[in-house]
Structure 1
Amino acid sequence: MDKKRILLIASYDGSLIRFRGDFIKSLLNANFDVFAAAPNFAKQNRAQISEMGATPIEFNLQRTGLNPLKDIASIKALKRIIKNHKIDLVFPYTVKPVIYGSMAANSCKVPVISLITGLGYTFTGGSSKAKLLQKFNETLYKLSIRKNKVIVFQNKDDHQLLLERKVISKAQKVDFVSGSGVNLKEFSFKEKNPTDKVSFLFIARLIKEKGVALYLEASKILKEKYPKAEFHLIGAPETSPSAITEEELNDLHDKGIIIFHGKQNNIEQHLHKTDVFVLPSYYREGLPRTTLEACACGNPIITTDSVGCRESVKEGVNGFLIEPRNLEALVKPMEYFITNPKKVREMGLNSRKYAEERFDVNIINQDLITIIKQELY
């Protein structure tokens, strides 16, 4: 039997390594030929994908904003890739790859299994621009994914929303997975041994929707009350309208309120060195990868009781869920860990158990491969 050819489509080449590297390896081990498409490949990412045994393919895609001419060009480029490489199934993830990859594949009569990794800014923001983008994206989703063989969601809320908005129908075949999964060997468990110097860690895009402003305010309040506590922050400065400026972050760092690390690649080490992971996001997440990595490493989690985020916490067992955009609600559980450091170890152990039960990347990838095989064979 000839190997089936699968095309993964991403909006960012680095995500093919960080979020889908294990999936690519699993597909190769399952005897598929894998092609990985993304815009603007970095040399090291191209090399790493090739070393895995997959084929990297570059195509032009404007990751943000709306430019009809460029977007049409992206669809045409994807159609050429599908035809030239005789692709048997297209597997896109994130908003633009799902929309344009589905359009391209459907026009080529090639089956699509699309992965909804969160509905993002346009389904979160309340601005007039966000609402306009939401309507536009809804229309594009309707045009693109209704013919897909399967739509895979990372949480039930996103599925329900698309049903309510009539983007998809109840007859549409859907499935669910628990995020992108986490490699439990790469993100190994390390038992916490907290003292009166409890440390917190925030990792995300440095935009307000991810809760960074709330985290900074909580850090100011708690640092004054508990000088030994530490408040770490990892993320690259952005130019987004809702971004926290690098000057503000450096100022808080210089004042000793936070420890700003900037962009980092050695996330596991930072999780091991800190006690509690905090993500007060009100962005419409799929299932945040960072919370899964924190669970695997044995960090208790404080995050919001909102779409995607709530999936990573068993309330009072491995962490706490808080009301979005509520500073007092965030300060309370952070202070709880500062004043009850023994709970850090206990809840950290429960985080690791939860990761093993639900978020093991091998389980997630096997579920995805089963879905793929059902459609191809």
Structure 2
Amino acid sequence: MTAKRILIVGSAAIPLIHFRGEFIKSLIKAGYEVYAGAPEMSEEISEELQKIGAVPLSYALQRTGLNPLKDIKSILGLKTLMRNHKIDLVFSYTIKPVIYSSIAARMLKIPAVSLITGLGFTFSASSTKAKMLQRITEVLYRFGIRKNKIIIFQNPDDRDLFLNRHIISQNQNTAIVDGSGVSLHNYPYRVNENSTKRIVFVLVARLIKEKGVDLFMDAAETLKTSFPEAEFHIIGQPDLLPSAIKLETLQDFHNRSIIVYHGPQDNVPEMLYKSDVFVLPSYYREGIPRSILEALSIGMPIITTDTPGCRQTIVDNENGYLIAPKDVSALTEAMRNLLEHPEQIKPMGIASRVLATEKYDVNIINRKLIELLDAIE
């Protein structure tokens, strides 16, 4: 039997290796012929994709903003790729690739599957501009994915929003898969025996307010007065969004020894191994944050918010603490509790690893995804 040709469409090339690499390998092992499409495909990433058995493809995409001419060019470019490579099935993720590849696939009568990996900044912000973008995005989603074979969500809240706002209908085939998964092999468990007052908290995120970065900094400033030995580390890339944390602010907190700001890092796992507690006080519309999954796998207590995508990673008081979003007092108290009771860090870390093993192992996630794809005729 001829292998089914699947085209995976993303908005950037590097995540095809870093975040979808294991999925691509699993698809090939399951008998699929995999084509991987992204804009600005570098020679290095192309070679990496070829090494794991995929065929790299590049297409034009303006990642941000709406430009009708460029957006139509993206749709037609994807349509050409699908037709030239005789694609049998399309699998897309992130907003623009989901919408545009779904339209292109429908034009060719190719079955399409969409993975909704969270709703992002547009559905997190409350400004007039953000609300206007929400409406435009809803219209585009509604038109783009209405004929898709399956729409896969990473948390039930996102599916409910799509249904309540009539982006999808009750009759459409949907599924929920617990995030993108984490490689337990690449993020092995380590026992944390730290019972000292030098507790290290770490936040890894895009440096925007919606990720709770400013709340983490304010909590650190409060706690430093009572726990001078504690450390508060921030790892992340400065951002261009209006809600970005200013680099001068980060440097000021760093210079006053309130936080340790590392900037973007290639060795995040190594930084996590040197830390005790992972903190992400996000109110961004996450799918399921990959950074939390990595911390779970390593065996770290998690402090995060009772918001879509984040709440699924916590059994409150067992592997960490769920706090209300935008509540710096609750965040401060959760962190204070672990500073005052460091003996809780080890059992909470063990509970995190158990949760990662039972629910978020990338092999479990990929198996579920492939079962859904295999069922498509």
Q: Please classify the TM superposition score into its range, dividing by the shorter chain length.
A: over 0.9
Alpha-carbon separation, structure 1, partners of 2:272 and 2:187? 9
* 2-structure distance, mates of 1:40, 1:214: 35
Aligned to 1:32: 32
- Figure out how many residues of one structure are paired with residues of the other and give that number: 376
What is the CA deviation profile of residues 200-231 of structure 1, one whole-angstrom value per residue up to 9, with x for unaligned ones?
11011101111111111111111122110000
Which residue is 1:180 aligned to? 180
Counterpart position of 1:115 = 115
SS at match of 2:232: strand
User: 2:238 and 2:304 mapped to 1: Cα distance?
Assistant: 22
The runs of at least 4 consecutive aligned structure 1 residues that moved more than 3 Å come to none
Letter in 2 for 1:306: T
Query: Who is 1:148 aligned against?
Result: 148
CA drift of 1:64 comes to 1.1
Letter in 2 for 1:122: T
Aligned to 1:96: 96
Aligned partner of 1:336 in structure 2 is 337
The equivalent of 2:323 in structure 1 is 322
Q: Write the distance in 2 (CA, Å) between the matches of 1:122 and 1:250.
A: 28
CA contact (8 A) 2:183 2:361 kept: yes
- C-alpha deviation, 1:133, in angstroms: 0.6
Separation in 2, partners of 1:11, 1:353: 32
**Matching of residue 80 in structure 1 with residue 80 in structure 2:** yes
User: Counterpart of 1:125?
Assistant: 125
CA shift for structure 1 position 42: 3.2
Q: How far off its partner does 1:8 sit?
A: 0.5
Distance 2:254 2:49 in 1: 37
1:54 aligns with 2:57: no
| More off after superposition, 13-22 vs 75-84 | 13-22
2:219/2:328 contact within 8 Å kept: yes
Q: In the alignment, which residue of structure 2 is the partner of 1:22?
A: 22
Secondary structure of 1:317's aligned partner: coil
The aligned residue for residue 250 of structure 2 is 249
1:303-322 alignment, distance < 5 Å = 303-322=304-323
Match of 1:275 in 2: 276
Give the stretch that moved more between structures: 102-111 or 247-256. 247-256
1:314-355 alpha-carbon deviations (Å, 9 max, x no partner): 011100111000100100110111111110111000000000
Distance in 2, matches of 1:149 and 1:347, equals: 40
Query: How far apart, in 2, do the equivalents of 1:141 and 1:242 lie?
Result: 25
Tell me whether 1:3 sits opposite 2:3 in the alignment: yes
Q: Is the 8 A contact 2:197 2:227 kept in 1?
A: no
| Contact 2:299/2:349, CA 8 A, preserved across alignment | yes
For the residue of structure 2 that corresponds to 1:225, the secondary structure is coil
For 2:44 and 2:301, how far apart are their aligned partners in 1?
Answer: 34
Aligned partner letter, 1:263: P
Unaligned runs of 5+ in 2: none
In 1, distance between residues paired with 2:17 and 2:199? 32
> Partner of 1:293 in structure 2?
294
- Quote the Cα distance in structure 2 between the aligned partners of 1:246 and 1:81: 41
SS of residue matched to 1:119:
strand
Q: Distance in 1 between matches of 2:65 and 2:193?
A: 46
RMSD: 0.9
Using the alignment, how far apart are the partners of 1:150 and 1:251 within structure 2? Answer: 48
Report the Cα distance in structure 2 between the residues aligned to 1:265 and 1:26, rounded to whole angstroms. Answer: 25
Q: Read off the aligned partner of 2:261 and give its amino acid letter.
A: F
Percent of aligned pairs with the same residue?
A: 51
Partner amino acid for 2:270?
Answer: Q
Instruction: Quote the Cα distance in structure 2 between the aligned partners of 1:316 and 1:86.
Output: 51
- Cα distance in 1, alignment partners of residues 149 and 240 from structure 2: 37
CA distance in 1, matches of 2:252, 2:122: 31
Partners of 1:280 and 1:33 in 2: CA distance:
40
AA in 1 matched with 2:246? T
